[in-house]
Structure 1
Amino acid sequence: MRSFIVGLDPGEVARLARLSAAIGFPVGVLPGLDALRLELARPGVGRALVLLPDLGLTRDAVRLAAEHGDTAFIVVVADTIPPDDYKALVRTGAGEWIQWGSCEVELADLVKRFAAPAHAGNGARIVTFAPSKGGVGNTSLVAEMGVLLSGPKAAGGRSGSRVAVLDLNFQGGTLADTLAVEPRFDLAEVAGRPERLDEQLAEVFLSCYADRLDVFAPPPRLVMLDDITPNLVFTFIDTISPRYDLVLVDLPSVALGWTETLIEGSDAVVVTGIATVPGLRRLCDRLSRIDDLSTPARRLAVVNQADTDMMGRFVRRAEVDRLLAGRDNLLVRRDCAGMETAANSGQPLVEIAPDGRLGRDIRRIAKWIEAVAARPAESARGSAA
């Protein structure tokens, strides 16, 4: 097995070499990237595992993974990594990031799996639903989107995307109740041991709602949120991503250590709020904080539970448009009876009343997601056909 360390800091290189030797994983130390490229260019000697214990080499790691993915698996070892670089590295299918704090465990896992061929394609598009406060109907909208985007399309009866809905409300999540499935996503079981996450465990965690819609929803039990580390969350998303076209993420209303990084790494972000004066203020605040993050993702503001007049027109449309000027925004009307029926039946409203006005509001969100996030995957499938 070929394996190399390249780094600019002699102390970090030596530390990583000692950790590797301790788990029976011998590595060679190379003086720089030029020497590494010579090694990777040697024909007929198999794939190499490359460890780069230097944050300054992150961009080089992405380029190496893109250029040499058939002959090498590139690993950045650092406490943090720029979200855009991490996203680009993982999407090559030939790279990963591990943290110093869990380095020994993660290296052991990499030794077992790095020789497997890189997965084809770019993995799922990640669409994150971020509530501006509690009680804005974020989970209900995620459930509606999952059913819509995975179901038969109106045009020609085409099959929908392969979709996973992922509930990250580890304390008090309601996605399983909303879709009437068994909550099996017990990520706390592997807290501190992300190396246990693999395809087989992902199968244990999922609940199947429909042929092309899988649900990952946590069971109702007390979870210490500090145990759900960023590495655990991101490793799980990386594990399931190759199986789907879209992963729809239901974020909690509270900010956790991995929340902003997940938003930064998403392909699209749907920020949800309600049409009250305090609710609109919180929505604008949330959007402003997301604007400050280094993310290129498109953002949609969804104002939920908006009142309408006798003609079905939104009564505060002008105020909402003024507050959200220059942003993509959609209003979803209040329909307490319809949503209560959906909640009691365990079926999304788009299934029990697909032609109602509220259903049409919800479909507009799905169309926005398709246009922003799903189009590259659709284009790839179309060109292959």
Structure 2
Amino acid sequence: MTPTDQFPGFANQAAAPGEVIAPLPRVSIQAFCETPEIARLIERATTDRRMEKAHVKVQMGGGLAASEAYKTAPTPNVIVIEGDAHRERLLESLDRLSSVCDADTKVVVVGQVNDVLLYRELMRLGVSDYLVPPLSVVDFVRSLSEIFRAPGADPVGRTIAFVGAKGGVGSSTIAHNASWAMARSLKLDSVVVDLDLAFGTAGLNFNQDPPQGVAEVVFAPDRLDAAVVDRLLSKCAEQLSLLAAPATLDRVYDFHEDVFDPLLDILRANVPCAVLDVPHVWTAWSKRMLISADEVVLVATPDLANLRNAKNLIDLLKGARPNDSAPKLVLNQIGMPKRAEIKPSEFAKALGVEPAALIPFDPQLFATAANNGQMLAETSPAHKTNDVILDLAKRLTGKSDAKRAKKNPLEPLMARIPWKKAG
């Protein structure tokens, strides 16, 4: 919010000459409006070329409807709240929203009072922007763009690397299904990057056969930018895209350790979640991918070779990532008939970690999904394994149900608001 007497062009319907408003990344935006006028304005904003990648949902009800909606649902990247002219009601609605808001969610408030003091108070509380009429589509788009493009702004998203402790443990399958849950159930825009260039299966699992993919990223690095990456993506679902592996043997794939760094920088700046399907190889670049990822998921089956390899990987990653969370352990194919296996509790105890997911052996479910080019939730929507995968996706993205225990962007100084009564 800026006083109109200082910025008389606030209501202009077009960007100022020479002004560059950056396109929004692949983020989800949900607006809760009080008036039809603001709802229509936001609907019109969705047709702006700079909003092309964003997923926008507009509904009525204001802050009260938002706080009720997110009691049982994950919050998006951005929440837009329209408030009324009453300062106390606006602050009360933000207080309720703060108790159910995820820590990384941005909040934009559309108000009716052009009050600098209120603006400053909202900024102290963690609100990203405060807008007041007269308001145009360009004003709204500019505000959202600046949230993600401002100097010093945090990256939009995180990278989550999946790797198997041993070949054939199902790491790729778990990675693909977790990304599906992130996109379809958690409404989080996600990209799967298949890094097994020679033998990758993401294209098969998602029933995609794109002509281009991750190979173009590494063999033409001089042309790499966000627009190029966007053209290489293959759409798997409304909020899920794939950067596929060529899965051919016409060349070898020996890379320098930092070959994927530019790609990761672009993904972090433009996509809320990038799932890296890292093959079971040990090279300079695969090691770097695991160490540099924001989260690492280690998939293993409960036998001795997996235990040894998992321990080696966990020890290395803990040493190389002292300020990051420990790798998440997923035990897959538990209870395979006629196979001697280590009990999951003993496996986890030997590694000093608690499993993030325990997935039972179910060859019919997994084989049917693979042969049909489907995810588990498409093949058998009611199967219990889907709940395990969804819970894993929530853990990895921070979209847990226990929102009240988490820090959120509206907590700071909330206790010092004058209207809040003691007791």
* Gap change, CA 1:360 and 1:324, over 3 Å in 2: farther
In structure 1, what is the Cα distance between the partners aligned to 2:195 and 2:373?
20
Which of 153, 158, 164 matches 1:125? 158
Q: Corresponding residue for 1:371?
A: 398
Offset at 1:172? Answer: 0.5
When normalised by structure 1's length, the TM-score is 0.59
Find the aligned partners of 2:333 and 2:270 in 1 and give their Cα distance. Answer: 34
- Do the aligned partners of 1:260 and 1:293 also contact (CA within 8 Å) in 2? no
How many angstroms apart in 2 are the aligned matches of 1:296 and 1:372? 21
> Does the Cα contact within 8 Å between 2:191 and 2:274 map onto a contact in 1?
yes
Question: Match of 2:201?
Answer: 174
- In 2, are the aligned partners of 1:273 and 1:302 still within 8 Å (CA)? yes
* CA 216–141 in structure 1, closer or farther in 2 if over 3 Å, else same: same
Q: CA deviation at 1:308?
A: 7.2
1:273 counterpart = 2:291: no
Structure 2 distance, partners of 1:354, 1:191, is 37
Amino acid at match of 1:135: G
Q: 2:282 aligns with which of 255, 260, 265?
A: 255
Name the CA distance, whole Å, in 1 between partners of 2:366 and 2:219: 39
Does residue 1:285 correspond to 2:318, yes or no? no
Task: For residues 252-295 of structure 1, give each alpha carbon's deviation from its aligned partner in whole angstroms, at most 9, with x where no partner exists.
Answer: 10012222222222221101111223222222222222222135
Are residue 148 (structure 1) and residue 199 (structure 2) matched? no
Residue by residue over 1:279-338, the C-alpha shift from the partner in whole angstroms, topping out at 9 and shown as x without a partner, is 2222222222222213533221111111179xxxx9823322332334444321110000
Matches within 5 A, 1:1-385: 121-153=154-186, 160-189=187-216, 191=218, 193-222=220-249, 223-226=251-254, 228-298=255-325, 299-307=327-335, 316-371=343-398
The one-letter code sitting in structure 1 at the alignment partner of 2:182 is L
Q: Give the match's secondary structure for 2:161.
A: strand
Please tell me the root mean square deviation across aligned C-alpha atoms, in Å. 3.2
**How far, CA to CA, are the matches of 2:278 and 2:192 in structure 1?**
11
Kept in 2: contact 1:273–1:279 (CA 8 A): yes
- Say if 1:263 and 1:295, in contact at 8 Å, map to a contact too: no
Report SS of the residue matched to 1:166.
Answer: strand
State the AA in 1 paired with 2:300. G
Aligned partners of 1:267 and 1:373 also within 8 Å: no
Q: Which has the higher contact order (CA 8 A, sep 6+)?
A: 2
In structure 2, how many angstroms separate the alpha carbons of the residues matched to 1:339 and 1:213? 20
Counterpart AA for 1:254:
V
Q: For 1:69-89, what per-residue CA distance to the aligned partner results, in whole angstroms no more than 9, with x for missing partners?
A: xxxxxxxxxxxxxxxxxxxxx
User: Structure 2 CA distance, aligned partners of 1:166 and 1:209?
Assistant: 12
Aligned residues: 256
What are the superposed Cα offsets for residues 18-52 of structure 1, whole Å, 9 maximum, x if unpaired? Answer: xxxxxxxxxxxxxxxxxxxxxxxxxxxxxxxxxxx
- For 2:195 and 2:307, the matched residues in 1 are separated by 24
Amino-acid identity (%): 23
Show the counterpart of 2:419.
none
Contact 2:335 2:360 in 1 (8 A): yes
Q: Counterparts of 2:342 and 2:166 in 1: how far apart (Å)? A: 22
How far, CA to CA, are the matches of 1:250 and 1:242 in structure 2?
19
Contact 1:184–1:207 (8 Å) recurs in 2: no
SS at 1:204's partner residue?
helix
Letter of the structure 2 residue corresponding to residue 142 of structure 1 = A
* Alpha-carbon contact 2:166-2:300 (below 8 Å) kept: yes
One-letter amino acid of the counterpart of residue 159, structure 2: I
**Per-residue deviation, 1:372:** 8.1
Q: Distance in 2 between matches of 1:283 and 1:243?
A: 32
AA in 2 matched with 1:305: Q
SS of the residue 1:181 aligns to: coil
